Every structure is written in C-alpha cells, then in structure tokens.
C-alpha cells in the first residue's frame, strides 16, 4: 500500500507543476481533467500525510512506554499506543478505500427524476417532500439546482419532477438514492386519521456530456407543441414545448417548462443523453451483479429501498438495515449520515470483491 501512496503523492506533485504551465492552462479540456485529478489526489495525499503523522506519534509513544521507568507514566504511554493503533487501523481501511479505482461517473453531475407512485394525491405530496429533502441537502453541499420539467398535482405535490444537480461529486453522493421510497403517515386528505402507505420512485442519472453519448440526428424524432399548465404568458400561445423520441431505444423526453423552444430542446437533450447513459451503465451493473451476492447500489428502481414512518419519526434503509429516529431532520435535508453509510457499505463490498 505504501508504494501506491507514494506514487499518488508523486503524481500529485507532478500535476501541481503542470497546472501552472501556460501550455496546459490554454487547453481548457486538459486543464479541467488535470484539475479534477488533482482534486481527487489531494484527498489521498492529505489522508496519507495524517496517517504518517499518527504513525510517528504511535512510534514515539511506544519508545516512551519501553524506556519509561515510572509505572504511572509507562501505563499512560501504553494507553496512548493503544488509542493511536485503533485510530490507525480505521485510517488504514479508509486509505485502502481511497486507493481503489474510482468510478469515473462519481464526479459527474446528476439528473434526478422523482415520480409519484401508489397513493394518488398523497404520493404526489410525498414526491414533493422528497424533492424538498434533496434540494435542502444540495444547499448544504453548495450544489446548483435547476428544474428541468415538473408536473404539479392539485394540492401542490408533484406527479413528476425532473431536476439537474451540479456540483462536486454529486453522483458519487446520490447514486444510491435510486429506487422505491415508501411513506407511512396520515395524509392531509384523510379525514379519519388513518395511516396510509404511499410510494414514490427516485431515479438518479449521471449527467451525460456530448462526448459520453453521441446522438445522431437520424435517430431522433423531434416534435414541438403548445405548452400546458403553469409556465407564463407563452402557455398555449406558442409551440415552445419539445418532445424528443430516440428511435433506436424508444426513449421519450418532453420538456415545456421554458418559454423558449430552444431552451426546452437543450434541456430535453440533456435528459435524453443521461437516460441513455444510465441504461448502458445499468446493463453493465446487471452483468456485474450476476457475479455478486448483493445488488446494493445497483440503482434498480423497482426495489423498495427505504421507508419513511412519520408517526414513529423513523427512517429505515432496507438495503443496509439502517434505522434512524430523526425523520423530521431527514426531511429537512439532513441525509448526510445515510449517504455516508451507503457509500461506506459500497466500499466494503468492493474491497471484499477485490480480495
């Protein structure tokens, strides 16, 4: 492991010099790629530096424990050695995880799609709650949020909402959110106070760049039509809404939130590329999952991944048997603990596969 860490450190120093080279800064793509690699290596180099400092402290404490003649000081030194070795064991596991080949998709932005499922109006309200939860989390992470398409229900919920999240490692953080989300609570539409179970589905798609998915014009059928529903003065007056059909796959994307036909087309193309990329990645994941015992993180949206029980203020993630009793905070966007638990579980599985 030490050899790998030293190699990463050398590469980090090499890129640091390259980033100040005028020949590199003038090439936007190369500069962007090197900056991204530099940022990833910085985390490893920082963790490696901290690990080495802890090793020095542990070695010094060991020397003191062996040389000290005062029984009380000797015992204190031994206790310090024990504590430092426990920390080093955890940090070593974290370093191994950092050294694992990084999924290139993790650094991508995200197209997130939330759709109401079973439960009628209550499901639509729950879909809106999920949208609020994720956008609140995005505020904490300082990600940019842009709504691409939405279909509101009568009581202010969402039958469907599609939005773009832009920032650092968005897909890496949210990729495990895909799946069926179930809610248990008394709906606002329930006069008798009975608890109802409703559901919504969440899809997290890595945002595809034009170089990731090449779309040929001959494979696209583009229709324009007049917008309907909320959308400003252009609604029902101009053909601003756009529907794009990818003929080979049958994938259909509609966008009508913008007043401009061009902007709607650009947004629809962004979603289309991301759906096609996700479809290709899902096929790869299915092939890999066939060789594994578990499919946590596979992104299968047919699975029930989580239950939100409001009467008991309880959240349960069924994939990793995680139960929290802070649902009120979770719905305000405090999902960092869940996100990290899912990422850690995925890392452990990958480490197990590599051994």
Architecture of domain 106-211+290-354: 2-Layer Sandwich (3.30)
pLDDT of residue 75: 93
pLDDT of residue 129: 97
pLDDT of residue 189: 74
Domain 2-99's class? mainly alpha
What is the spatial distance between Cα 31 and Cα 38, in angstroms, rounded to a whole number?
A: 10
pLDDT of residue 349: 80
pLDDT of residue 299: 36
CATH of segment(s) 217-284: 3.30.160.20
Split the chain (355 residues) into runs of 10 and give each run's mean pLDDT: 90 93 90 88 92 94 91 92 92 82 85 93 95 97 94 93 94 94 89 87 90 86 79 57 92 89 91 89 69 40 82 96 96 96 85 57
pLDDT of residue 355: 47
pLDDT of residue 290: 58
Residue recorded with tokens 């505020």: 139
Q: What does the pLDDT look like over 146-202, one tens digit per residue?
A: 999 999 999 999 999 999 999 989 999 999 999 999 999 998 877 678 899 999 999
| b/e per residue 198-236 (b: at least 16 CB within 10 A) | bbbbbbbbbbbeeebbebeeeeeeeeeeebeeebeebbe
Count of alpha carbons within 13 Å of 24, Cβ hemisphere only?
A: 14
Token readout for 225 is: 């039509």
Domain ranges of the chain: 2-99, 106-211+290-354, 217-284
């Amino acid at each position: 492991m030490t050899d790998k860490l030293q190699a990463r450190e050398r590469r980090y120093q090499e890129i640091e010099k390259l980033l100040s080279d005028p020949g590199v800064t003038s090439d936007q793509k190369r500069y962007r790629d090197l900056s991204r690699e530099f940022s990833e290596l910085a985390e490893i180099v920082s963790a490696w530096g901290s690990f080495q400092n802890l090793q020095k402290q542990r070695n010094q404490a060991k020397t003191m424990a062996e040389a000290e003649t005062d029984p009380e000081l000797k015992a204190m030194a031994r206790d310090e050695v024990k504590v430092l070795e426990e920390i080093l064991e955890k940090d070593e596991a974290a370093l191994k995880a950092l050294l694992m080949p990084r999924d290139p998709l993790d650094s991508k932005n995200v197209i997130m799609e939330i759709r109401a499922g079973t439960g009628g109006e209550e499901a639509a309200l729950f879909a809106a709650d999920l949208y609020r939860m994720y956008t609140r989390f995005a505020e904490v992470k300082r990600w940019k949020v842009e709504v691409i398409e939405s279909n509101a229900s009568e009581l202010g919920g969402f039958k469907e909402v599609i939005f773009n999240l832009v920032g650092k490692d968005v897909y890496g953080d949210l990729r495990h959110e895909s799946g069926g989300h179930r809610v248990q609570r008394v709906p606002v539409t329930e006069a008798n106070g009975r608890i109802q179970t409703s559901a919504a589905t969440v899809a997290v798609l890595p945002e595809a760049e034009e170089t990731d998915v090449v779309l040929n014009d001959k494979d696209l059928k583009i229709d324009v039509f007049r917008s309907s529903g909320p959308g400003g003065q252009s609604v029902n007056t101009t053909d601003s809404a756009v529907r794009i059909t990818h003929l080979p796959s049958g994938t259909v994307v509609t966008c009508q939130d913008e007043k401009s036909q061009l902007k709607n087309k650009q947004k629809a193309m962004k979603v289309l590329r991301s759906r096609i990329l996700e479809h290709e990645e899902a096929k790869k994941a299915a092939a890999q999952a066939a060789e594994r015992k578990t499919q946590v993180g596979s992104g299968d949206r047919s699975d029930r991944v989580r239950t939100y029980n409001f009467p008991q203020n309880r959240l349960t993630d069924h994939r990793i048997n995680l139960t929290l009793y802070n649902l009120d905070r979770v719905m305000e966007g405090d999902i960092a603990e869940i996100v990290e638990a899912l990422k850690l579980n995925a890392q452990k599985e990958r480490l197990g596969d590599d051994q």
